[in-house]
Chain A
Amino acid sequence: MRPFTFERATSVEDAVTKAAAKPNSKFIAGGTNLLDLMKLQIETPPHLIDVNHIGLDEIEETEEGGLRIGALVSNTALAADSRIRQNYGVLSRALVAGASGQLRNKATTGGNLLQRTRCPYFYDTNMPCNKREPDSGCSAMGGFSRQLGVVGTSENCIATYPGDMAVALRVLDATIETQRPAEKAPRMLTLDDFYRLPGDSPNIETVLEPGELITAVHLPAPVTGKHIYKKVRDRASYAFAVVSIAAILKEDGTGRFACGGLAPRPWRDAKAEALLPDAKAATAQLLAEASPTDQNQFKIKLTERALSSVIAEASS
């Protein structure tokens, strides 16, 4: 860990003003991922701004009939909220499928969106990694890539977004509210706008600008149907998804779904959804552009079968 300076923000405005004043600073909330990465010197912010005391810890009802989730609402609180459990079951289920109780107590809604990949080569600072060190190469390709991405990747990076929460948010058409320094109005971003695909610069993972702070996540009005989160993993708990599916389906198996464990961001395709309840056709469409490695080729079949399982669950 490199030495860094630290200060505590008192409001959203204070936080973004402070961030604007110190280039390369980082906001810290739960710190469940950032601190680990700092210890390994994968992240080396010279300055941290603690945003744990700026409010943003409420879940409010919106005029559109949805919810505004403050960025500092913990994963535990969000998963347990009665409105979430009742009307956005897929989100609650995705949250409790992730991490451990201890981590969920600390992890926040905003921070969770920014958790970084679990690619083993990203974590090993002896290894080339374009995400960690631009233009050094990708050692995951041709290496231990079983867990890594099959679609949306580039020749520079095959890392996946590792989380669960954002997969559910994607299927719910959530939007992310942010605040930029020196701007009055917040900015609203869909998840697909928020996350950048790796392309030539896998080190840049979101469209967040310097000093821009996630302030909330907006859920639109509830979507009816069976809310399912299917997480396929090697052990029963406390493991990253090999493949996950967040779905809201009618009994006939039609509806919407998004996938985790396949791509650098939660992966959803309206054309694939249109093919439901045919899991085979929907998966073929969803992963038409897939370029898996030998080690993760099985994820394609696994996605199809997991989707079949979700459709069966919806109709049961």
Chain B
Amino acid sequence: MKFTKPAPKNPIDNQTVMGKPTPRIDGPLKTTGQATYAYEWKDVVENPAYGWIIGSSIANGRIKSMKLDAAKSAPGVIDILTYKNAGIKHKGDNSSAQQIAGPKVEHYHQAVAMVIAESFEEARAAAELVEISYTKSKGKYVLEDTLSSAKKTDQQKDVSVGDFASAYESAPVKLDVTYKTSRHSHAMMEPHATIANWEDNKVTVWTANQMINWSKTSLAKVLGVSKEDVRLVSPFIGGGFGGKLFILSDASLAAAGARLTKRPVKVTLQRALIFNNTAHRASTIQNMRLGANENGELTAVAHKNWSSALPEGGPESGVLTTGPSYKTPNMLLETRLSVTNLPPVSAMRAPGDMPGSIAIEVAMDEMAEKLKLDPIEFRLLNDTQTNPETGKPFSRRKLAECLQQGAEKFGWSDRSSVPAQKREGSKLIGMGVASAVRGGPASKSAARVQLTTDNKLIVETDMTDIGTGSYTILAQTAAEMMGLPLSDVDVRLGDSNFPAAAGSGGQWGATSSTSGVYVACVNLRKKITDQLGLNADTATFENGNVTESGKSTSLSSIVKSGPIEAEGEIDFSGRGDDHSYYTFGAHFVEVEVDIYTAETRIRRMLAVCDSGRIFNPVSARSQVIGGMTMGAGAALMEELHVDPRYGHLANHDLAQYEVPVHMDIPHQEVFFLEGEDPLASPTKGSGVGELGICGVSAAIGNAIYNATGVRVREFPITMEKLLNEMPVEV
């Protein structure tokens, strides 16, 4: 079904199941250890061998020689996979480095070999016997050192609206500031893992992957086989955040190793390898120039973003969020990309928007102060219903309501407009606010639904649930559409044998996959009404019955003769060029900063979000608080430290790369606005998973400024950046 807007009234509007706060239906499986994560399948293959991946000890150069004999003759070793015998034909879609190095080495901890042994312990022990010598090449590892060679990129073209230069020149109030954001690791709980098995020249991989259809295609290329000969199974995923969008070394080397040894092979990336072996969010340097008139109306906005990547990598596009944010007749968005030989950079939760939101939202705070305006008032003054980047109206934009409701609920009026005024004991207290602006994309998504003879409704789609709640919202969708209780719906996800869904990424998953199931259910309803000679448009499906003109037939009677099923696909290619699709929110944070040590701790956080219809307020809230927590990490502690002498990310384990713990997040509240966005999708809502992180770090930075009067423009804001300027002498 091609989506034509606006979505008409449809059964989703009944909101008897959809929209209701619903605990995740896969929760019991997870809390009782029955949800099978990639490394945990016990019964799918017999007698698997175990792979242990060895990462390169250099960042850039060539493999000179590999001495494998000692390892090969170690106890339990079956074989050792290297670039010479791996049979890998392609680096994989969206990869900026090879799946296995050789002879060229492109980054630190790039896979150079995989020992395959009878047990995990034997593989790991033998890996220490592999001797690889390298010829090192010089590389570039510091973004700041590569700026003169930074180039424009087709992946994020520059945007110019009006005449920024003259408008900025003549603006009576100006701001010109530069921010830096750090490199982040996805640091999801479940490490990357895969079990691979070949049968009849076809491979099945049980893996942890957010994008089944993309990755099936990609793995086929990597292995040099046809797409039909690859099956991916990934029903449960222990967090992804973009780190599991693509085929990585666990999947490619498990599959290649299984082919080489003619044995099922099981591989997980050891935690200390993940940070450099896989991808991370690139660091950025972002220059913001804002011009405003005396009334506080923005007249000129320029955002220039620098990031670096391997030669085939892409930019961290901070400008993405600035384009649609605030009304301005003159805008210049520039993206520059340079080459560094650090590990691959790739998508992480709200790629571009998240670091970009630090720049624009801290700049808005700084500009508000220059204009002597309250930061919320300043944002409201520059709110718009038209995307200033494209000139198109937003399908739905309730940013002002989010800011106003948030201010009310948070007690914004208690904030001192002068910084460093509020002290409780040894703590300085401050409040900060930021807007959240994040695209609401949607993409093609298919599903199959079947009413079975035992009166169950089975939903099958290769959509993934990365902890987000996909199982539950898809069950809610199907239950609402077919007029069945939630408990009658059996959702099956993450198998490439199922119809291809949009997958989990870019916060498009919820809107796309619910719409896919919606279409499949529309088709199933049509089949049933056709079979009964009813009018599909007027028949209703409620309480297990299909009813028209007062005459009801139970669904259970229809399937007595056999199951009935239908497939459907939503296609958003027709979704309007005449609108801009975004989601909006407002983040509020109160922090305390220790007057002595400059340690910052968050006291409370509050978000008001709007993305049209919220399919499940429980899982949507979980998404938003997860984003808020990650934003807190980026603001206060998360930073992959580059060692330019070795070209690696030095703090590559969870003891050194700190993410927030419970005590860092004492209090979070999330509110959603009521309403629907019929222009967005048939189910009339968009995603919230990435909206939840946008603006959070900026709100924290703004709160720290309000607490201390110290403006730190280099994130994360760790104690040493505040210490020398703390307002209180001790």
Contacts and interface: CB of A to CB of B under 8 A. Distances in A.
A53 interface: no
A170 to B, nearest CB: 21
8 contacts: A124-B272, A142-B645, A234-B636, A235-B661, A235-B663, A236-B601, A236-B664, A305-B597
A302 B641 CA distance: 21
Closest 9 CB pairs of A and B: A236-B663, A126-B57, A309-B596, A298-B720, A144-B650, A237-B663, A308-B730, A144-B641, A305-B596
B660 interface: yes
Nearest to A309: B596
B597 A306 contact: yes
B723 A302 contact: yes
Given A234-B636, A237-B663, A302 B720 contact: yes
Contact of B637 (A41, A142, A235, A240): A235
A102 to B, nearest CB: 13
B374 interface: no
B643 interface: yes
B646 A139 contact: yes
Contacts of B597: 232, 302, 305-306, 309
A301 interface: yes
Nearest to B663: A236
B637 A234 contact: yes
Contacts of B718: 234
Interface in B690-730: 718-720, 723-724, 726, 730
B124 interface: yes
A232 B598 CA distance: 9
A207 interface: no
Contact of B650 (A1, A40, A143, A305): A143
B604 to A, nearest CB: 14
Interface in B26-71: 57
Contact of B664 (A1, A142, A235): A235
Given A235-B660, A301-B724, A124 B652 contact: yes
A242 B599 CA distance: 11
Contacts of B124: 1, 39
A309 B426 contact: yes
B125 A127 contact: no
A312 interface: yes
A123 B652 CA distance: 10
A85 interface: no
A143 B664 CA distance: 28
Contacts of B125: 1-3
Contacts of B601: 236
Contacts of A308: 596, 730
A144 B643 contact: yes
A235 B719 contact: no
Nearest to A238: B661
A47 interface: no
A241 to B, nearest CB: 11
Interface string B643-685: 1011000111101101011111000000000000000000000
A306 B596 contact: yes
B113 to A, nearest CB: 14
B128 interface: yes
Interface in B587-605: 594, 596-599, 601
Given A41-B128, A305-B596, A306-B596, A234 B658 contact: yes
B661 A236 contact: yes
A121 B128 CA distance: 18
A232 B719 contact: yes
Given A305-B597, A309-B597, A237 B661 contact: yes
Interface of B: 57, 121, 124-125, 128, 272, 426, 594, 596-599, 601, 636-637, 641, 643, 645-646, 650-653, 655-656, 658, 660-664, 718-720, 723-724, 726, 730
Contacts, number: 97
B184 to A, nearest CB: 15
A42 to B, nearest CB: 11
Contacts of A240: 655
Nearest to A147: B656
Interface of A: 1-3, 39-41, 118, 120-121, 123-124, 126-127, 139, 142-144, 146-147, 232-240, 242, 279, 298, 301-302, 305-306, 308-309, 312
Contacts of B664: 235-237
A226 B518 CA distance: 66
Given A1-B125, A234-B718, A302-B719, A144 B651 contact: yes
Contacts of B651: 120, 144
Contacts of B272: 40, 123-124
B703 to A, nearest CB: 16
A305 B636 CA distance: 20
Nearest to B655: A118
B663 to A, nearest CB: 4
B655 to A, nearest CB: 6
A144 B730 CA distance: 29
Given A118-B656, A120-B656, A144-B650, A301 B723 contact: yes
A127 B637 contact: no
A234 B641 CA distance: 15
Contacts of B426: 309, 312
A240 B651 CA distance: 13
Nearest to A123: B653
B128 A232 contact: no
B560 to A, nearest CB: 54
A306 B726 CA distance: 13
B660 A120 contact: no
Contacts of B637: 234-235
Contacts of A139: 643, 645-646
Given A142-B645, A235-B663, 8 more contacts: A2-B125, A120-B651, A124-B650, A143-B643, A143-B650, A305-B723, A309-B594, A309-B730
Nearest to A121: B650
B645 A298 contact: no
Nearest to B654: A238
Given A1-B124, A237-B663, A302-B720, A232 B599 contact: yes
A97 to B, nearest CB: 11
Nearest to A243: B597
A238 B636 CA distance: 15
A46 to B, nearest CB: 13
**Most-contacted residue by chain A among B660, B720, B723 (CB, 10 A):** B720
B612 to A, nearest CB: 35
B646 A127 contact: yes
Contacts of A120: 650-653, 656
Contacts of B641: 144, 146
